[in-house]
Structure 1
Amino acid sequence: MDKNLENKFLEELDNHQNIIHKVCRTYTNNESAHKDLFQEITIQLWKAYPKFRGESKFSTWMYRVAFNTAISLYRKNKRDIDTGPIFDNMKELEYKEYNDEQDKQLDLLYKAIHSLNDIEKALALMYLEDKSYNEIASTLGITEINARVKMNRTKTKLKNILNP
């Protein structure tokens, strides 16, 4: 692959790495699974990057790949991740630790989010990221109206979980 494309990918990945951490935190329950999922999402992003046309923001595209990877990986309960030679010629990517003990309220929120279904998890995460309904709809491949309806239902569900 072209070295410039490789460098651009690494730069974008480094700038938006927190997105992957957030998806990992939403779909995993421990650090080992978090790291495994982080690695798998990174691999899938790298494999899909040559097809990224820039028609959406990199971060929106990244969310879509990350969500799809997380959902498919954990629906299949796949634990063996084959990295293959993908990173052989790439610079070392520094794994930035994600501290999930900074805020007890945040921990409660993530516990509540873990009880949601896969689509609701994605909606909640993008809502917390202040994504527009248009971006949410685009990322999830649904209409904006459907995104609004699903978001309202997800908010109500979260409120009921957090305040029984």
Structure 2
Amino acid sequence: MRGREQQRAFETLLREHQRIVFKVVSVYARHPEDRHDLTQEICVQLWRSFPSFDATRAKFSTWMYRVALNVAISQMRRPPRQEEPLDPQELEALGGTAEIAEQDERLDALYGFIDQLDPLNRALILLYLENRSYAEIAEILGISETNVATKISRIKQKLRNQMTGATPVGA
């Protein structure tokens, strides 16, 4: 595939899977300018990496998550800006404002918990909440399925402890 044909194929796939970019951006960036910058950087890196995408080795969505998460984790090294809520257009792109508008304190607490996770665990929980299989999470993050299961179990326990106010064993 060369030139125009490659560009059309990329644009089609990007359009079909754009929600992946929006979800990764929503987890890793809070300030509007940071979200915009991260979205642009992810798209640029996807385009640069597209010639190396091999559909026989991975689904496009898996490959796209891998690239997007790598870019987002790299961007986390930058100093954060003042937090602002997502604007209505971004909320709509993430799946509609109806569900998001009904957020309660528990959901806010969950987002706060996710914000406190290190970059790898943040990526892991994002993919888990997307109902990705352990095998797919392992492939995207480059870790074993056993490691995925262990990390998810630990994150869930830590969340349970935080939500119930329990003190973890050994703390």
**TM-score, length basis structure 1:** 0.82
Q: Across the two proteins, how many residue pairs are aligned to each other?
A: 147
Does the 8 A contact of 1:19 with 1:63 survive in 2?
yes
Mark the runs of 5 or more structure 2 residues left unpaired by the alignment: 81-87, 92-96, 166-171
CA–CA separation in structure 1 for the residues paired with 2:13 and 2:140:
18
Counterpart selection for 1:72 from 65, 71, 74: 74
The alpha-carbon deviation at position 78 of structure 1 amounts to 7.5
Does the 8 A contact of 1:24 with 1:37 survive in 2?
yes
After superposition, where does 1:110-125 map in structure 2 within 5 Å?
110-125=111-126
After superposition, where does 1:2-21 map in structure 2 within 5 Å?
2-21=3-22
Q: Which amino acid aligns with 1:42?
A: C
Per-residue CA shift, 1:47-67, capped at 9, x if unaligned? 000000111111111111011
**Structure 1 position 97 matched with structure 2 position 89:** yes
User: In terms of mean alpha carbon deviation, does 25-34 or 114-123 score higher?
Assistant: 25-34
Q: Which has the higher helix share?
A: 2
The alpha-carbon deviation at position 135 of structure 1 amounts to 0.2
Per-residue CA shift, 1:118-143, capped at 9, x if unaligned? 11101110011100000000000011
- CA 162–33 in structure 1, closer or farther in 2 if over 3 Å, else same: farther
Per-residue CA shift, 1:3-59, capped at 9, x if unaligned? 111111111111111111111111112222111111111111010000001111111
Per-residue CA shift, 1:77-119, capped at 9, x if unaligned? 189xxxxxxxxxxxxxxxx932175342444422221111111
Residue 162 of structure 1 corresponds to 163
Counterpart selection for 1:63 from 58, 62, 65: 65
3-state DSSP of counterpart to 2:30: coil
Residue 84 of structure 1 corresponds to none
Q: Which amino acid aligns with 1:118?
A: P
CA–CA separation in structure 1 for the residues paired with 2:163 and 2:152:
16
3-state DSSP of counterpart to 1:53: coil
CA–CA separation in structure 1 for the residues paired with 2:163 and 2:4:
48
Larger Rg computed on CA atoms: 2
CA–CA separation in structure 1 for the residues paired with 2:79 and 2:52:
25
CA–CA separation in structure 2 for the residues paired with 1:103 and 1:155:
23
**TM-score, length basis structure 2:** 0.78
Q: Once superposed, what is the RMSD of the aligned Cα atoms?
A: 2.0
